[in-house]
């Protein structure tokens, strides 16, 4: 049974950006550099459960220097977008999936599970005050970042008894500076992102911290992103995106692994592909299968997907001692178009994926 709704206390930001300032930011929002005027903040304690739900002015958080998150990284987050439709309404995409994934991440990181209804409510509350920040320009959106962390001041290593949940929001254009043009991927051989039994399937900060050094290696190699392998040499995912392969016969293949993020964009793309009558395989994909498949023409497209990056074709794979051009085709872009048409309300949502905020 759903818990009773939280009663949010709303404090308006008296120093909120003016309409002119906001519109100027929305002209060229970039990704993740500008933030809206408010944020959601809910407390949790072992004794009191979820309490003190607030919408307050966006601003610095005061933390005790001994707050457990600063020492042991007990933290999880989500990424989800709000889209402006032509009728002016603001919608988000499959938020129940993000709510459930946040709960799975919470279980893995020994954090409390936020009820799905509270998650949905937290997004609605933020949009109720900051809805004007949802851009209406093509391909733009408001990126919502719910996150939860251990705030108890205690240096012993155990799950924190005091936790904070926040939602902030940031207007977003394309994640990659080049827009939808194919990206170049660096194959990380020295570093892994996650291990069996580790935290790879949780959306937790440490996974991203671990990806930064290989990501710098990628930049140094002239690449945009890293692809990670598991210890058996199978493909896992990129630092912040899942990966899919298109075979000559139209089959879509994507790695199955307990140590990658269960991407909502990926799952939605697989559903769209199935509904087009394409075969979908979720199974181990070795590096050899990828490289040989490209060389023989059996693999006709490779692309990455995620909330921030949407669908982005992969144009090259570079590793120690080799660089393979990747074939590009029509399927990735046509799936991208179908997905974004649904998200932006340009095509009928027959699957109940949209949620009005």
Binding of residue 237 to ligand PLP (CB under 6 A): yes
**Minimum CB distance to ligand PLP, residue 304 (Å):** 9
Binding of residue 308 to ligand COI (CB under 6 A): yes
Binding partner at 266 among ligand PLP, ligand COI, none, C-beta below 5 to 8 Å by kind:
ligand PLP
Binding of residue 74 to ligand PLP (CB under 6 A): no
Binding of residue 95 to ligand COI (CB under 6 A): no
Judged by CB under 6 A, which of 41, 266, 313, 353 binds ligand PLP?
Answer: 266
Of 306 and 319, nearer to ligand PLP (C-beta) is 306
Binding of residue 265 to ligand PLP (CB under 6 A): yes
**Minimum CB distance to ligand PLP, residue 180 (Å):** 16
Binding of residue 116 to ligand PLP (CB under 6 A): no
- Of 102, 109, 97, the closest CA to residue 42 belongs to 102
Number of residues near ligand PLP (by CB under 6 A): 12
Binding partner at 205 among ligand COI, ligand PLP, none, C-beta below 5 to 8 Å by kind:
none
Residues 202-221 that bind ligand COI (CB under 6 A): none
**Minimum CB distance to ligand PLP, residue 198 (Å):** 13
**Minimum CB distance to ligand COI, residue 64 (Å):** 27
**Minimum CB distance to ligand PLP, residue 230 (Å):** 14
Residue 263 tokens read as 């991407």
Binding site for ligand COI (CB under 6 A): 79, 240, 306-308
Binding site for ligand PLP (CB under 6 A): 79, 237, 240-242, 261, 263-266, 306-307
């Amino acid at each position: 049974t759903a818990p009773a709704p939280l009663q949010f206390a709303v404090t308006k930001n008296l120093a909120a950006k003016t309409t002119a300032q906001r519109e100027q930011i929305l002209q060229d929002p970039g990704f993740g550099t500008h933030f809206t005027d408010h944020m959601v903040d809910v407390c949790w304690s072992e004794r009191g459960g979820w309490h003190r739900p607030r919408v307050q002015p966006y601003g610095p958080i005061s933390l005790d220097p001994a707050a457990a998150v600063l020492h042991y990284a007990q933290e999880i987050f989500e990424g989800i977008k709000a889209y402006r439709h032509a009728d002016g309404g603001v919608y988000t995409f499959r938020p129940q999936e993000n709510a459930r994934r946040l709960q799975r991440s919470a279980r893995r990181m020994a954090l409390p599970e936020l009820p799905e209804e509270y998650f949905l409510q937290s997004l609605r509350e933020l949009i109720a005050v900051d809805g004007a920040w949802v851009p209406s320009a093509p391909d733009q959106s408001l990126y919502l970042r719910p996150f939860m962390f251990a705030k108890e001041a205690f240096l012993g290593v155990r799950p924190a008894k005091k936790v904070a949940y926040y939602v902030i929001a940031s207007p977003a254009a394309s994640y990659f500076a080049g827009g939808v043009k194919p990206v170049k991927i660096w194959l990380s051989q020295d570093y892994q992102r996650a291990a069996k039994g580790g935290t790879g399937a949780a959306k937790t900060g440490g996974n991203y911290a671990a990806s930064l050094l290989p990501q710098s290696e990628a930049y140094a190699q002239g690449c945009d992103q890293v692809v990670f392998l598991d210890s058996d040499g199978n493909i896992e995912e990129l630092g912040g995106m899942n990966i899919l392969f298109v075979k000559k016969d139209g089959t879509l293949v994507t790695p199955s692994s307990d140590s990658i993020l269960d991407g909502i964009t990926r799952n939605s793309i697989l559903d769209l592909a199935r509904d087009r009558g394409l075969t979908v395989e979720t199974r181990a994909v070795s590096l050899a299968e990828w490289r040989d498949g490209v060389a023989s023409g059996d693999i006709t497209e490779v692309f990455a997907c995620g909330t921030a990056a949407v669908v982005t074709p992969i144009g090259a794979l570079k590793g120690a001692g080799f660089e393979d051009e990747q074939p590009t085709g029509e399927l990735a872009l046509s799936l991208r178009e179908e997905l974004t048409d649904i998200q932006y309300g340009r095509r009928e949502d027959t699957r109940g994926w949209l949620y009005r905020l």
